[in-house]
Structure 1
Amino acid sequence: MTLSRKLMIDGEQIVATTRTHVKVLILPFLILLVVAGVGGFLINQVGDSGSGVPRWIVIAAMVVLILLGSVIPFLKWLTWTYTLSNKRIVEQKGLLTRTGRIIPLSRINDVAFEKNLNDRILGCGTLIIHDASEQSGLELKDIPHIEAFHRTVTNLVFEKHDKTASDESV
């Protein structure tokens, strides 16, 4: 899911679109495996022993746990995107209510990144962008290939600032 054409401004071109690293889906995947395994075992036990728990209750519990523990986190991951264009950086997120934050490249005055040991192993990290506003910096968490994304953002910011500086001197 990239930036919609109707949200783009004149002369804007998308440079890169990404979402968080797939590492955020490890826990939901494990939840799916455990719930399916334990649920299958319980359905088999309930069916054989004739215990007081109806089979539909176990199935309903499995469905709820899978929805809450796996499907919703996957949909959140799928719909949370970061788009870098030649004019701005856009964060969009949300399942039912879409929200976002937009920072024009000309207002960015600091671009930094953080990588802990796990991030270094998996090749991701957090990009921190500070702009000339009162709001706190925008943290783009778990960005895959963080160094390349950082370089791209930094190059675009330098180009934008150089162009702005040369326009002001004329």
Structure 2
Amino acid sequence: MSPAVPQPAVPPAMPAERVVARLRRHARVLIVPAALLVVVAGAGTYGVFVLPELWQQLAVVGVGLLVLVLGCILPFLAWLARRTTITTRRVISRSGLFARVRRELLHSRGYDVVVRRTWGQSAFGSGDVRINTGHEHPFVIADVPKPFQVQAALQELMDEARSHVADRRRADQSNADGDTVAWGGR
């Protein structure tokens, strides 16, 4: 039998990534499109039954459909197309109807989280969460409901990620014996 070779301590594995929150803009941005839908439906129905000529009725229907597409359907699709997901490792922002844009920000990078609220946002309990990463343009989660709760969660996730990275570095340094280590093993 050969003597047992001591195995180096394995660094702690990164826990599986979990979704903490999925966020969209506050739904109050859909109040005007919903009111416009009701007004256009009522005015269009009234115009079709009151106007005597067929071309006038078709004009009312055409204008009504155009207003519905531009004023109701497009704002709703734009609201649906923008989503922010916060996981235990990163913040992911997806936006765009025809050209999709995806931005990611790792919690382990460290950042500053600021909440900015206008008086209208304060009335509805929402606000902008600005994540300052040190770049020219901050990462902004616009008009999110309960912004202070989001800020607290982001700060807690950032602290956990930074402590986990520090633990991994300490474990890697304790395993290093001065030899060159190739990727994935010895």
Bucket of the pairwise TM-score, normalised by the shorter protein: 0.7 to 0.9
Is residue 153 of structure 1 aligned with residue 154 of structure 2? Answer: yes
Task: Give the deviation of 1:89 after TM superposition.
Answer: 0.2
Is residue 117 of structure 1 aligned with residue 119 of structure 2? Answer: yes
Q: How many residues align?
A: 157
Task: Give the deviation of 1:99 after TM superposition.
Answer: 1.2
Q: Report the residue type matching 1:113 in the other structure.
A: V
CA distance in 2, matches of 1:40, 1:108: 56
The structure with the largest strand share of the pair is 1
CA distance in 2, matches of 1:142, 1:159: 26
Give 1 or 2 for the bigger CA radius of gyration: 2
Tell me the equivalent position of 1:68. Answer: 70
CA distance in 1, matches of 2:50, 2:89: 60
Given the alignment, which residue of 83, 86, 90 partners 2:85? 83
Q: Report the residue type matching 1:116 in the other structure.
A: T
Question: For 1:54, what is the secondary structure of its paired residue?
Answer: helix
Deviations 1:99-121 (A, max 9, x none): 12111111231111112222222
Tell me the equivalent position of 2:47. Answer: 42
Task: Give the deviation of 1:96 after TM superposition.
Answer: 2.4
Question: For 1:153, what is the secondary structure of its paired residue?
Answer: helix
Task: Give the deviation of 1:135 after TM superposition.
Answer: 4.0
CA distance in 2, matches of 1:72, 1:17: 22
Superposition map of 1:20-35 within 5 A: 20-35=25-40
Amino-acid identity (%): 26
Is residue 28–residue 73 contact of structure 1 (8 Å, CA) maintained in 2?
Answer: yes
Is residue 108–residue 130 contact of structure 1 (8 Å, CA) maintained in 2?
Answer: no
CA distance in 2, matches of 1:94, 1:31: 23
Deviations 1:33-53 (A, max 9, x none): 22222222221221xx33x84
Question: For 2:111, what is the secondary structure of its paired residue?
Answer: strand
CA distance in 2, matches of 1:167, 1:110: 23
Task: Give the deviation of 1:128 after TM superposition.
Answer: 0.2
Structure 1 residue ranges without an equivalent (≥5): 1-9
Distance 1:130 1:108, change over 3 A: farther
Is residue 108–residue 129 contact of structure 1 (8 Å, CA) maintained in 2?
Answer: no
Tell me the equivalent position of 1:18. Answer: 23
Given the alignment, which residue of 40, 50, 58 partners 1:56? 58
CA distance in 2, matches of 1:75, 1:24: 12
